[in-house]
Amino acid sequence: MSQRLGKFLLIPVVIAIPASVWAASADHIDKLLRTRQCPECDLLEASLAEADLTGANVQGSDLRRANLQRTRLEEAKMAGARLEGARMMGIRLIKADLRDAKLAGANLLSANLLEAKLADANFFRANLRFGNLERTISERAIFRDANLQETNFERSLLNEANFEGANLFLSNLQQTSLVSAQFKGANLTRATLENANLSGASLWRANLSGANLQGANLFHADLRGSKIDSDTNLEPKWLLVWRIANQRTAGQNLTKADFSGANFEKVNLEGLNMEQSNFNQGFLFITNLRRSNLRQATFVKANLRYADLQSANLFGADMEGARLLDANLKDADLRLANLRESFL
């Protein structure tokens, strides 16, 4: 009931506080600590530091900004969990299921995620420095702008992962599968990529100074705009491909060169002498090959779509199975060229 005080009318006001401003549910925390079973729970800003939650089920739970420092969550089920901004320094997530988990901005300094399932997980701007992600299954995971300095990814499955803008200084990517991974603008200075599979990966504008790519598979990898130095370990074939893709090559003699599987998308190769060179299975989309000497060169199953071959010398070239859709072959010398099963 309202009351009158002097000439003012005092009216009691009930303020509705949104549930979202409250921290974690005490009942949910108690349930998690007692039973280790708390899927779809409200654990927002929960304090679980140093707890032993081995085998816990927190799939789909809200753990945003929770304190999980040095927590044991080995073999835990955390698929789809919300962990944005969580404090997880030194956490043990060995063999944990973090598929599709949201970890943007999370601090996982020195975290151990050995053999964890990280497919489709989002680590945007997360801190994984000194982390152990060896043998993880991280296909399509997002590590964009993340701090991955000295992080260990050895023998992990990282196909189609996004490392755009990430800092991978001194990181270990040895023997990893990085098929079609994105490293645009990433810092890979002194990173170890020995025997890594980078087939179809984009290294556009990546910093590869001092990186070790010995034995790496760079089939169709985009090396345009990438930076290397005298300490970068690239096999001679891929070093030549890098030079062709990034440096002016006018007047060079490139006869009998091995460019098989190389990515020369939109690269200017006009007027070069590449007689008897091997472009088999190469990616030459929108490549400029005007007036180039390609006599007896091989383009078996190469992608030459939209390539400009005007006035090129293709005498005796082997173009079996090549994709020549929309290519410009005006005035090209195709005498004795093999065009069997090519796409024209």
Residue listed under structure tokens 């195709």? 334
Q: Is residue 185 one of the residues assigned to a domain?
A: no
Side chain identity, residue 129: R
Give the separation between CA 11 and CA 30, rounded to whole angstroms: 39
Query: Residue 297 sits in which domain range?
Result: 248-344
Rounded-to-integer distance, Cα 267 and Cα 237, Å: 17
Residue 344, domain member (yes or no): yes
Q: What is the structure's pLDDT at 344?
A: 84
Residue 81 lies in a domain: no
Which CATH number do you get for residue 284?
A: 2.160.20.80
Q: For 156-187, how does the pLDDT look when each residue is reduced to its tens digit (9 = 90+)?
A: 999 999 999 999 999 999 999 999 999 999 99
- Residue 252 counted as domain residue: yes
User: Does a structural domain hold residue 224?
Assistant: no
Domains contained in the chain, number: 1
CA dist., res. 299 & res. 24, Å (int): 62
Within a domain: 101: no
Distance CA(166)–CA(161), nearest Å, equals 12
How far is it, in rounded angstroms, from Cα 210 to Cα 90?
29
Residue 138 lies in a domain: no
CB-based contacts of 18, cutoff 8 Å, min separation 6? none
Residue pLDDT, tens place only, 305-314 = 999 999 999 9
55, part of any domain: no
Contact 265, 245 (CB under 8 A): no
Rg (CA), the chain: 28
Q: Taking the complete model, does pTM exceed 0.85, yes or no? A: yes
CB 87 within 8 A of CB 70: no
Element (H, E) at 32: helix 26-35
Asked whether residue 260 carries a pLDDT value surpassing 90, the answer given is yes
- Which pLDDT tens digit goes with each residue over 130-153? 999 999 999 999 999 999 999 999
